[in-house]
Amino acid sequence: MRPSLWSSVLMAGSCLAQGDIAALLASQDDLSTLLELVGLVDGLADKLAAASNITIVAPTNEAFAAIPRNTPEGEAVEYKNDSIAIGALLANHVFQGVYPASVITDIPTFAQTLLDDSYVNYRQPFSNFTGGAYNGLVKNGDDVCVLSGEQTVSTVTEADIKLGEGITIHKIDTVLSFGAPFQLFTFRAGYLAMNAALEAAELNFALGETGADVKGLNISDFTIFVPTDEAFKSIGSVLETADMATLQDVLRYHIIPNNVIFSPSLGNVTVPSLQGTNLTFTVLPDGSAWVNNARITFPNTILYNGIAHVIDTVLSPGPFDRTSFEPSEPVADRLAFPNATSVASLPFSSVSFAFGTNLETYTSTPELLKTVAAVATGSAMAKPTGQLNATATMTGEMPLFTGAGSALWPSAGLVGAVAVGIAALIVV
């Protein structure tokens, strides 16, 4: 990253008035596409002119040109024909709060954007988090990067362009992506066993899928733990004999309702699962994070309406005694089902999205996502034992966060909230 003061973008030493976002964008040759898109959303330029306490990550013209044209947002950018998709795309690039490059560290900060559930076009809603969708900010060597859905990593190419006291702009090289529905994510990422287990369990709720043919009720603001295919196969003998009620119980134990938990928020705490029994979290001095006896191996995947963490063993409902925790043991000795034996193939195989239209899979995972620290290490990570609640898990509250700007953003103005309360799902 090559940070730049705003003076480097002013022409002939002139000074733009605070909030004159259109003039600032017009002064940047590489932001002309962004300026054009802002003009397509009714009232947006005026709203931004009055905004404060926001951080805009601004894709360059090259970034917009690279958006796949077979997506709703790609088509909208190409043909300028869908102001809802464009509005959702732009809202996802505006963080609530001021995040200068100097406060970003190698521990990711996850903060909410102005993308809410009012953006619903004829194809789909774009996100469904209470208070706005999440994206992440993290240091990667000398660069600042932005993490978004679909394993997308954007790099800041020019940082800290100031517009008065309340708006910070960072240019980025890749347009941020929307979070995928959970089972679409598992299909694309190759976690087919979890996908198939949810299909087989018939829990009577969906995890972000939308449309008339979707069975069950949708939920939002959840945290879900995703065992790998190898983890499921390692307890295959148990799954082969499990009845429907047992399978449902196990899967509900992998879901935390109404609680968006990113890994930097974790400490030695317990949190109730959807199944009802507590999950026990442990954070070690080496920076590894654990849930019961399972290590979180790939944290913080941003979904359409929740957060997913990949783990290396399947969790078993029931009390967990942290004093018995042996993190140095190999995975085979940490099974939550100690008498289980491995199988070559699982008793369920029907996978959601396998025959849909979105068949792209993640061919490679950005190295940053593989290596980024899950939690702080040493004294910075120490947290008291206790109960983790919704307030404590809303990360991104950096010292320079000076307030939310969500009220300044023009709503899409459409009916289409697809989420319902988790309480309604428990009675099935």
CATH code for the domain of 213 = 2.30.180.10
**Does residue 131 sit in the same domain as residue 19?**
yes
Domain membership flag for residue 230: yes
Domain membership flag for residue 113: yes
Confidence (pLDDT) at 195: 92
**Does residue 220 sit in the same domain as residue 350?**
yes
Q: Which of 410, 417, 413 minimizes the C-alpha distance to 94?
A: 410
Confidence (pLDDT) at 399: 30
**Does residue 192 sit in the same domain as residue 335?**
yes
Confidence (pLDDT) at 71: 82
DSSP 125: B
**Does residue 209 sit in the same domain as residue 312?**
yes
Would strands 143-148 and 134-140 be described as parallel, antiparallel, or unpaired? antiparallel
Confidence (pLDDT) at 274: 94
Confidence (pLDDT) at 110: 97
Give me the torsion for CA of 349, 304, 383, 335, rounded to 10°: 0
**Does residue 161 sit in the same domain as residue 251?**
no
**Which structural domain range is residue 32 located in?**
6-178+401-408
334 Rama sector, left if φ>0, alpha if ψ -120 to 50, beta otherwise: alpha
Counted residue by residue, the chain has a size of 428
Confidence (pLDDT) at 16: 42
Domain membership flag for residue 394: no
The token pair at 307 is: 């957060």
**Does residue 34 sit in the same domain as residue 102?**
yes
Confidence (pLDDT) at 123: 78
**Does residue 152 sit in the same domain as residue 272?**
no
Confidence (pLDDT) at 203: 86
Q: Which of 337, 387, 382, 367 minimizes the C-alpha distance to 151?
A: 367
**Does residue 379 sit in the same domain as residue 330?**
yes
Q: Tell me, rounded to whole angstroms, the distance of Cα 417 from its chain centroid.
A: 19
Domain membership flag for residue 413: no
Confidence (pLDDT) at 378: 61
Q: Which residues of 8-46 are buried (b: 16+ CB within 10 A; e: fewer)?
A: ebeeeeeebebbbbbebbeebeebebbbebbebbeebee
Task: Give 110's strand partners.
Answer: 136
Domain membership flag for residue 384: yes
Place of tokens 């999950």: 279
Q: Which of 85, 93, 75, 96 minimizes the C-alpha distance to 125?
A: 85
**Does residue 52 sit in the same domain as residue 107?**
yes
Helices (H), 149-217: 182-189, 192-201
Global pTM value: 0.84
| Counted domains in the chain | 2
Domain membership flag for residue 199: yes
**Does residue 94 sit in the same domain as residue 28?**
yes
Q: Which residues contact 81 (CB under 8 A, 6 or more apart)?
A: 75
pLDDT (tens, 9 = 90+) of the chain, 428 residues, equals: 433 322 222 222 233 444 488 888 899 999 999 999 998 988 887 777 777 789 999 999 999 999 988 888 888 899 998 999 999 999 999 999 999 999 999 999 999 999 998 898 877 789 999 999 999 999 999 999 999 999 999 999 999 999 887 899 999 999 999 999 998 899 999 999 999 999 899 887 766 666 556 666 667 899 999 999 999 999 999 999 999 999 999 999 999 999 999 999 999 999 999 999 999 999 999 999 999 999 999 999 999 999 999 999 999 999 999 888 899 999 999 999 988 999 999 998 888 776 655 567 887 899 999 999 999 876 444 443 344 443 333 333 323 333 333 334 444 433 222 222 222 222 22
Domain membership flag for residue 395: no
Confidence (pLDDT) at 357: 52
Domain membership flag for residue 191: yes
Place of tokens 């917009």: 64
Confidence (pLDDT) at 131: 94
The token pair at 302 is: 């941003």
Taking the C-alpha atoms of residue 113 and residue 136, their distance in angstroms, rounded to an integer, is 10
**Does residue 101 sit in the same domain as residue 173?**
yes
**Does residue 135 sit in the same domain as residue 167?**
yes
